[in-house]
Amino acid sequence: MVTQTEMRSTVPLEAAREYVRRGWSVVPVPFKQKRPVLKEWEQLRLAESDLDQYFDQPANVGLILGEPSHGLVDVDLDCVEARAIAANYLPPTPAKTGRATATDSHWWYYAVGAKTVQHRDPVTKQMIVELRSTGGQTVVGPSIHPTGQPYDVLRGEPAVVPAEMLTSCVEELAKRVIELRHGDQPTAAVRNRNPQAVDRHRVDSPSDIERRALAYLDKLPPAISGNGGHAATYAAATVLVHGFEIDPDRALSLLLDHFNPRCEPPWSEKELRHKVTSAATKPHSQSRGWLLNEQREPSPDSVVDISALVGQAAETTLSPRIEVINDDRPIEPSTADPGPIPDDLLHVPGFVDDVTEFTLATAPYPNRPLAFVGAIALLGTLTGRKVREPGNVRTNVQILALASSGVGKDWPRKVNASVLLHAEETRKLAGKSASGEGIEDRLIGHPIILKQDDEIDTLFENMRDNKEARYRNQFGMLLELYGEAGGWRAIRDRAGEKSGLIYQPHLVLFGTTTPGEFYASLSGKMLNKGLLARLITVEAGERGRRKRADWRDPPESIIAIAKQWSTFWPPGWGNLSDESCGQATPLVVPLTDDAQRALDAFADRCDDAYRDSAKRGNEPVMAIWARAVEKATQLALIYACSKHGITPVIEHPAVTWASGFVEHTIRRTIHMLGRHFHESEFEQKCQQVIETLTMWQREHGIEWMPSRDIARKHRWPQKEHDAIRETLAVQERIETAFMKPDGAGRPKHVCRLFCPDTEFCPKAVRTD
């Protein structure tokens, strides 16, 4: 076995090679994720010669533990206490890894025959420490954690220890952590112990507690799909396991028997178990057992207030102290922000990278996201009607790049136009269209077009607000053409002309606009009908550092590939050209077995996200996830064409990159919609006031902000200000008051973000 102790590479492929040379089995893990997606990855045994096809794109590296790696095991320290005292219980080892916020959280050993064992807190059920062995894997550097932190590379040589000894050491460590948290008590006593609760004035029997809990549960609203169902169920679970301190397993049974029959539709046992686990392990504003000190049964006419629980279920914080408590929003707000797209996902080998680098080299303000998506749109145009994958997905991508003014949105469009000019393909460039019919007429002239529109938000605004049919027709046209690329389009009836068909109409859309204008231009219809779902939306980020513009003709290598695609006739075309609207059979690009498995795994994840959105009643998010696999397939096909030219094959790296790219852009889009999209102007103004008060809070803490300052910043009619304040106050998102001056003078009206802990809030004269 190789005993190499120095790992120098920060590239996943090179790191994977060095891990394999040390005698360890590796498995590819999607970028910024922690679990493999390959089916039966436990049986994967990659030789060094196999690694190129698995790690040539951004990916995390996992080590397969136990027997496949000659007894390599990982002691995963999942809590602060375990990491603090680990040296007192675990055998010393030179091999330790972690990340910035969890240093030395993984201790590595060779322990042949060791079994995987997990130790959890008996109260919270959270993991304390885990001995990982055969059947498991651990992600190591240079991988990237979902938070963006890099993992440490495993450099040291793991110590060799007996399996029985290591298992006992891990068990003793876990016991000590439990003692530090809950004292020296039997496990059963710890499980029922309430470490935070105050002394109670009475002692209830388990049956009495359960009877009271069921009476409380009966007063809670049922979970109705599309009407805050997730929040209502989370609230019910919290009432049982946290409010009444009922054992999670028993709480699950109570929910199944007494709560679930009232839900529409009922939850599965697995889904309810997830809610109970979340309620038992997540922090809450109330102390444990808070309902045990309440009245024994709520009165029949009492109103059960679960707003705080719903707020926790929504898990959305617009500012450090404002929680959105409405779980019935049109956009799923709970998706964490993945941040701007990383540079690692802005690379595709071959033609796309060549065009991207040429754009960056010549632009006065280089911007990689803009250059990259421009190159994707260009290749999507050149390959139009000439390739498809086995499911008949084409390369008719619709891309939207969001960039602030001055970032350089026009440069990639100029490069695309120049490449098409030198490849004698300018007939594929489309100008602005005033109507859906205009787009159709352009496709009749040539069935492949690249529509490059700046300030495309104007088009969206016209679709949303203008009542003229020509604007509404553009909306329908974009939706229809996306799905017709693999079939045909019936040409509308025109006076004096015969009707006909456009076979395989291929429209590639490359639109640019500013982020603010884009989100302001959207309507609920555009989201629900799926226009946004078809778009690949990428944010350009900050403006690049200025350099002297270097406009020149594209390199001959780029022009040659563009011409090669221009003159490429798939075997089934016969005498047709790509200028003809006749039927032309494209080349079917196959997927390797590994690529198909990876695509299937991505499809499973997208289906889970779709079902979760459906239960929440979030149709826009459902539409977005419904198109995710199709977009990933499009991009994987473009990747294959970029890398292999006119003999493409979709391989595993293509799917890995495409699924990672699509998932990142989707989650970023959902997050940004949750922050910026508003169904009405009034809702948008409410959010602007919240943002103003948030900025005030950052500078002045919990001091009150004069309402006159808000009115000066937002010059709306006084009636609107009054209505906005009243709405936000009712929602408990802000507080209002009249503050008396120290001396003479009139009281002034003031506002601030809602401060529930009034003991620490400045005093004011409250309004009725």
**For 382-394, what is the mean pLDDT?**
93
Of the pLDDT bands very low, low, confident and very high (cuts 50, 70, 90), residue 502 is confident
CB-based burial label for 120 (10 Å; 0-12, 13-18, 19+): middle
pLDDT exceeds cutoff 60 at 450: yes
**For 598-620, what is the mean pLDDT?**
85
**For 522-530, what is the mean pLDDT?**
57
pLDDT exceeds cutoff 70 at 31: yes
Check if the beta carbon of residue 190 is closer than 8 Å to that of residue 180: no
What pLDDT, on a 0 to 100 scale, did the predictor assign at position 406? 85
The chain-wide mean pLDDT, for the chain, equals 78
Encode 441-450: b = buried (16+ Cβ within 10 Å), e = exposed. ebbeebbbbb
Of the pLDDT bands very low, low, confident and very high (cuts 50, 70, 90), residue 658 is very high
Q: What are phi and psi of 708, to 5 degrees?
A: -65, -30
Q: What is the CATH number of domain 343-676?
A: 3.40.50.300
**For 244-259, what is the mean pLDDT?**
86
What pLDDT, on a 0 to 100 scale, did the predictor assign at position 6? 39
CA distance 673 to 682: 17
**For 366-370, what is the mean pLDDT?**
94
Retrieve residue 206's tokens.
């388990």
What pLDDT, on a 0 to 100 scale, did the predictor assign at position 767? 39
More confident residue, 212 or 636: 636
pLDDT exceeds cutoff 90 at 361: yes
Of the pLDDT bands very low, low, confident and very high (cuts 50, 70, 90), residue 473 is low
User: pLDDT tens-digit profile of 38-91?
Assistant: 888 888 898 888 888 888 778 899 999 999 999 999 999 988 888 888 888 888
User: pLDDT tens-digit profile of 550-568?
Assistant: 999 999 999 999 999 988 9
More confident residue, 114 or 455: 114
**For 268-286, what is the mean pLDDT?**
75
What pLDDT, on a 0 to 100 scale, did the predictor assign at position 748? 83
Of the pLDDT bands very low, low, confident and very high (cuts 50, 70, 90), residue 436 is low
Angle formed at CA 107 by CA 105 and CA 111, multiple of 5 degrees? 150
CA distance 128 to 119: 6
Check if the beta carbon of residue 486 is closer than 8 Å to that of residue 422: no
The DSSP element (H or E) to which 110 belongs, if any, is strand 102-110
Of the pLDDT bands very low, low, confident and very high (cuts 50, 70, 90), residue 321 is very low
More confident residue, 115 or 210: 115
**For 466-482, what is the mean pLDDT?**
60
Check if the beta carbon of residue 440 is closer than 8 Å to that of residue 491: yes
Q: What is the CATH number of domain 12-182?
A: 3.30.2250
Distances (CA, A) of 380 to 374, 451, 485, 724: 10, 12, 12, 47
Three-state SS letters, 514-542: CHHHHHHHCCHHHHHCCHHHHEEEEECCC
Coil, helix or strand for 93? coil
Give start-end residues of each CATH 3.30.2250 domain in the chain.
12-182
How is domain 684-766 classified at the architecture level of CATH?
A: Orthogonal Bundle (1.10)
What pLDDT, on a 0 to 100 scale, did the predictor assign at position 76? 94
Give start-end residues of each CATH 3.40.50.300 domain in the chain.
343-676
List the single range of 105-109, 552-556, 722-726 with lowest mean pLDDT.
722-726
The DSSP element (H or E) to which 729 belongs, if any, is helix 718-730
What pLDDT, on a 0 to 100 scale, did the predictor assign at position 222? 77
Retrieve residue 479's tokens.
């939706």
Q: What proportion of the chain, given as a percentage, has pLDDT over 90?
A: 27
CB-based burial label for 693 (10 Å; 0-12, 13-18, 19+): buried
DSSP string over 354-397? HHHHHHHHH-SS--HHHHHHHHHHHHHHHTTTTEE-TT---S--
Coil, helix or strand for 23? coil
Which residues, 6+ apart, have CB-to-CB distance to 131 below 8 Å? 73, 74, 75, 76, 114, 115, 116, 117, 118, 166, 167, 170
Q: What proportion of the chain, given as a percentage, has pLDDT over 70?
A: 75
Check if the beta carbon of residue 477 is closer than 8 Å to that of residue 440: yes
More confident residue, 264 or 214: 214
More confident residue, 50 or 673: 50
Give start-end residues of each CATH 1.10.10.10 domain in the chain.
684-766
What pLDDT, on a 0 to 100 scale, did the predictor assign at position 749? 86
What pLDDT, on a 0 to 100 scale, did the predictor assign at position 496? 52
Distances (CA, A) of 350 to 357, 523, 569, 639, 676: 11, 38, 21, 8, 37
CA distance 250 to 89: 35
Encode 130-157: b = buried (16+ Cβ within 10 Å), e = exposed. bbbbbebbbbbbbbbbeeeeebbbbbee
Beta-sheet strands, E only, within 672-756: 705-706, 734-739, 748-753
**For 96-104, what is the mean pLDDT?**
86
CA distance 395 to 757: 56
User: pLDDT tens-digit profile of 151-173?
Assistant: 999 988 998 888 888 998 899 99
Whose CA is closest to 104, among 112, 93, 114? 93
Which residues, 6+ apart, have CB-to-CB distance to 490 below 8 Å? 499, 500, 501
Check if the beta carbon of residue 237 is closer than 8 Å to that of residue 275: yes
